[in-house]
Amino acid sequence: MPKKTPFTKLLIANRGEIAVRVMRSAKAMGYHTVAVHSTADAAARHVLAADESICIGDPLPADSYLRIDAILEAARRCGADAIHPGYGFLAENEDFARACNDAGLVFVGPSAQAILAMGHKAGAKRLMMEAGVPCIPGYQGENQDEQHLMSEAVRVGFPLMIKATAGGGGRGMRLVGQASEFLDLLRSAKSEARGAFGNDEVLLERAIREPRHIEIQIMADRYGDVVHLGERDCSVQRRHQKVIEEAPSPAVGPELRARMGAAAVQAAKTIAYEGAGTLEFLLDREGQFYFMEMNTRLQVEHPVTEAITGLDLVALQLRVASGEPLGLTQEQVRFQGHAIEVRLCAEDVAAGFMPQSGHMGLWQPSCALRVEHGLNRSSDIPPFYDSMVAKLIAHGETRDEARRRLLHGLADTVALGVVTNQAFLSRCLRHPVFAAGAATTAFIGQHQDALIAAPTDDAHEALALAAALLHAESGNAIRHSFSTPLRLKMGTDTTSVLLVNEAGHGCIVRIGDREFALQLLEVGEHDARVVCNGVARRAAFHRDGAAIALHYLGQPWRIEDLTREAIVRHSQSGGDGKLRASMNGRVLSLAVAVGDAVTAGNPMVVLEAMKMEHVHAAPATGRVSALHVSVGDQVGAHRVIAEIEATA
């Protein structure tokens, strides 16, 4: 009989919302909690939420959250006797699990052997094939020679997927449409995998067109008991990273759920698994499912499973880790209603989902939703970590009720100062394909134009309100009827606006042939009550120099006042021959040197931001006249990193 391993003080080897989430359940169960943090996270919410905290290094993950020695030393210094890895960083690192056990610490997760068996995608796939679980045809061998992989790719057939064997989260993953693209995408995938996981091994899989991404949550104890907690549908993705998750899946009925659940339970039993884990499958149009991978940890999307089962998965993890039996049979697992989660990310959707960092000047999450986050009311978003800043979850008796609640709560959430995907999430939830439960992994790609475009009428009304607020704050809101011309920039568009004060009646704002009658009834530090064309609404705002960030009409807007600037300005996109950083990041590699000839579109600099690689291409044809960065440099958004001189 396995022995129990009780503990009293839990160190959470992670940051952000998952660290806060783990602490909540741990404290409710009476455990003392310890946070670790980098120097960039010294004032982060997870640090303030813990009973104790310890700094473990510099901002880059390799210097802090990925340092096994620093985390174990922190546990020793504070007297922690257990470690919860959260997800990401070291959560699926068998060396970390083994080191915790060797140090006499309880690791809240599976054994190092189980992590090794299932955390390595190629090995896990071979194991599942031996166990009879359906797998996608491909290559998962050890020979990583480029030419050998090329020949295997031809054998598998195109289109195919290249996947890093050591990790997840979309990193080290590339879709290859044809043979001519293979080698370049292979090198890119390997480079990203090497940077993210320290391992550039990949496997190849035939691409299944427009599947659903279905995962099964399992929970197991050390006594051989395993249950599944139903499925989650994670089909709405961009860049192979999940955006929206829900439970149950609109495409899975009781019979399919039972078959997929049985396969997941059998997989866990095969490796004597302990703790929370997730089996991920692709479901094709014919209803056939194929094993992709197992995540040997808690998932980002675990709240939707908690919502429909009424179970606290973190509490179950802690009980199992302390040696308690699961105490739950498959027959006792009950499902109630429907839950949907969206991931709020700091990213510029219109710029290809480019990660963003900076200062979140105003954060006010909805009180009507379950919101998991690691933000204070005002927080810095560092460029060193994942772009997800919060998760918003709604539960309802039906799927459409959950969707409506999530839409309303999302519209009520204020996140101003850093560009996020908030409006994009709302448009995804409203889209008729998603509303009908018909979204596949191709959903965003197929409907991207509709999902990114903002309604013109709403944008004009937001511009009008921005004009009124900017004018009022400038001290020019005197009671006369003179016209005040303004030039306001929203996104890439600059618009001429005419504002006319009306004594005692607010102002009239004219934009093209549109006219908005505005009254500012109440204006506080960050909020206002306004009347626009007879309709009263609340608005939130945050001033950032010459710009104002608004939360209005259920979504964020950023408007820059260019009225006092010269009309002719160099293009941020490089029309002046300057290559600018599109985000805060670290210089990973340089593809050119001073004096090299380049053609517009040629790769020049690769930046790493929020654990993803971003290639910066030449904005013009000519010769490289200057390089202002070196490999390893940390650069800010919009900084000039290279210059190109036109050649005759």
Give how far the C-alpha of residue 1 lies from the chain's centroid of Cα atoms, to the nearest Å: 41
Report the distance separating Cα 401 and Cα 385, nearest Å: 34
**How far apart are alpha carbons 422 and 492 in whole angstroms?**
18
Amino acid identity, position 633: D
- Beta carbons of 534 and 519 less than 8 angstroms apart: no
CB-based burial label for 324 (10 Å; 0-12, 13-18, 19+): middle
Cα end-to-end span (Å), the chain: 81
Amino acid at residue number 87: Y
Among 71, 77, 73, 97, CA closest to 19: 71
Among 265, 259, 266, 250, residue whose Cα is nearest residue 288: 259
Q: Is 42 exposed, middle or buried (0-12, 13-18, 19+ CB in 10 A)?
A: exposed
Contacts for 519 with CB less than 8 Å, ≥ 6 apart: 505, 506, 530, 531
> Has 297 been annotated as catalytic?
yes
Report the distance separating Cα 538 and Cα 515, nearest Å.
20
Continuous segment of H or E residues that includes residue 8 = none
User: 3-state class of 404 per DSSP?
Assistant: helix
Q: In angstroms, rounded to a whole number, what is the distance separating the alpha carbons of residues 274 and 222?
A: 6
Q: What are phi and psi of 320, to 5 degrees?
A: -65, -40
Cβ–Cβ < 8 Å for 356, 583: yes
Q: Beta-carbon neighbour count of residue 240 at 10 Å?
A: 17
Strand-pairing partners, residue 360, are 379
3-state DSSP assignment of residue 520? strand
User: Could you tell me if 488 and 497 are in contact, meaning their C-beta atoms sit under 8 angstroms apart?
Assistant: yes
Structure token digits, residue 84: 């919860």
The answer to whether 124 touches 130, Cβ cutoff 8 Å, is no
Per DSSP, 231 falls in state E
Task: Name the catalytic one among 297, 427, 558, 580.
Answer: 297
Name the residue with tokens 């204070």: 376
CA distances from 399 to 178, 302, 337 (A): 39, 17, 7
Tokens 């060396």 belong to which residue? 95
For residue 569, how far is the Cα from the chain centroid?
Answer: 34
Question: Which residues are the active-site residues?
Answer: 297
